[in-house]
Structure 1
Amino acid sequence: MIVSRLDGTQVADHVEALADLLVDTVDGGASVGFLAPLDRATALAWWQERAAGVAAGQLAVWVARDDGRTLGTVSLAFPDKPNSRHRAELVKLMVHREARGRGLGRRLLATAEEAAVGAGVTLLHLDTETDSPAEHLYTAVGWTRAGVIPDYAADPAGVLRPTTLYYKYVGAAAGSGVTALTR
């Protein structure tokens, strides 16, 4: 299994496989912002739009591939405001249904966390559907629950569900409350 970071051109080159992964993730019941059934054209368009953010440095995308198949992805979204450059949002952690339960989600999280530290980020945050398998993963790898927002987003079936917010300090300044802005 190879995990690699994509630049804007590479995102465009991988858009077909990433779209298939997104469709599989939604069809598998994961709440990642889309309703099921997700048509492939919508998934393709969504990933094509991400390429510009990657090229601009606002988004970092990693893919996990094995034997030529894209089995997972994770992204970091970087804020553009000067007072928030110490943090990033972990977004769209997706693992293909066939690859779940083998530690790929943990590996993708660790990759994103290490890259965040390398970029000078000391605080990560995310949101996920409450009581989802993803929530259990985040708790298991040291993310801290900040709170729950009721009826925040619809799951793939269209049912309003609560969302849990998480954060995690990373890097040498983890948890110190004192950070120098380096990005």
Structure 2
Amino acid sequence: MTITPFSADDLERHLPELGALLHACVHDGASVGFVLPHGLDESEAFWRGKVLPTLRSGRLVLLVAREGDVIAGTVQLDYDTMPNQRHRADVRKLLIHPAWRRRGIARALMIELERHAQRLQRSLLTLDTRTGDHAEPLYTALGYRAVGVIPGYAQGPDEACLEAATFMYKSLEAADAQTTA
């Protein structure tokens, strides 16, 4: 498996595969902002309309995990922050294709994302995840701390109910201090 940052041109070249990845995740129940029914056209529109402009602006890192030529997962580091928040960034859309789960890809993507954050001099990472989701223990194991839960935060992918979200953070300075101690 290789993890590489994708440029805007890379995203455009791999738009169908990225769309298929998002589509598969949503159809597998991932709570990543979309509800069913969800078509491939919506998935590609997300990458084209939401990710591509921020990537082009130079304020987003898109990491892609590939096994050979197959895209197995992605994660985004959004560092398009206000002037008083240049020390932090947001983790967005950790997506692992259902066929590639339970192989350490999510962990590897998150570790590489943290390296990129440190290179960008970002010392605080924040994220949100569906409360009780399978990603929550991963984030905790990586040193992220829950700061709270907001009930009824977002509609579930099946639109059946409103789901809670857990908000988490990780101080990369604290992580550095632990690894050097």
Quote the residue 2:33 is aligned against: 33
Match of 1:61 in 2: 62
1:124 partner SS: strand
Distance 1:173 1:65, change over 3 A: closer
Residue aligning to 1:145: 146
| Cα contact 2:25–2:96 (8 A) shared by 1 | yes
Deviations 1:137-160 (A, max 9, x none): 111111000100000001111121
Contact 1:123 1:170 in 2 (8 A): yes
Q: Which has the higher helix share?
A: 2
* Identity of matched residues, %: 38
Shift of 1:171: 4.0
Please say if residues 63 and 75 of structure 2, whose CA atoms lie closer than 8 Å, have aligned partners that are also in contact. yes
Could you give the per-residue CA deviations for residues 67-91 of structure 1, whole angstroms, max 9, x where no partner exists? 2111100001113311011000000
The answer (yes or no) to whether the contact 1:26–1:37 under 8 Å persists in 2 is no
| Structure 1 spans left out of the alignment, 5+ residues | 176-183
Residues 1:169 and 2:175 are matched in the alignment: no
Report how far residue 14 of structure 1 moved.
1.4
- The residue correspondences of 1:34-183 to structure 2 (distance < 5 A) are 34-49=34-49, 50-158=51-159, 159-171=161-173
Partners of 1:20 and 1:171 lie apart in 2 by: 36
CA RMSD of aligned residues (A): 1.4
Question: Normalising by the residue count of structure 1, what TM-score does the alignment of the two structures yield?
Answer: 0.91
Q: Any conservation in 1 of the 2:81–2:88 contact (CA below 8 Å)? A: no
On the 8 A contact 1:122/1:174 being kept in 2, the answer is no
Q: Distance in 1 between matches of 2:153 and 2:107?
A: 25
Distance apart, 1:26 and its partner CA: 0.5
Deviation digits for residues 30-65 of structure 1, max 9, x if unmatched?
Answer: 100001231000111110121121010121101111
TM-superposition CA deviations, 1:83-138 (whole Å, max 9, x none): 01100000000001011111101000001011000100000000000000011111
Compute the TM-score of the two structures, normalised by the length of structure 2: 0.92
- Tell me the matched-pair count: 175
Q: Which residue of the partner structure matches residue 24 of structure 1?
A: 24
Aligned AA (2:69): G
* Structure 2 gaps, min length 5: none
- In the alignment, the residues of structure 1 paired with residue 81 and residue 172 of structure 2 have an alpha-carbon distance, to the nearest angstrom, of 20
Per the alignment, do residues 91 and 127 of structure 1 end up closer, same or farther by CA in structure 2, a change over 3 Å counting? same
The letter of the residue matching 1:168 is: K
Measured in 2, the distance between the counterparts of 1:11 and 1:91 equals: 16
- What SS does the corresponding residue of 2:20 show, helix, strand or coil? helix
Could you tell me whether the CA contact under 8 Å between 1:4 and 1:63 is conserved in 2?
yes
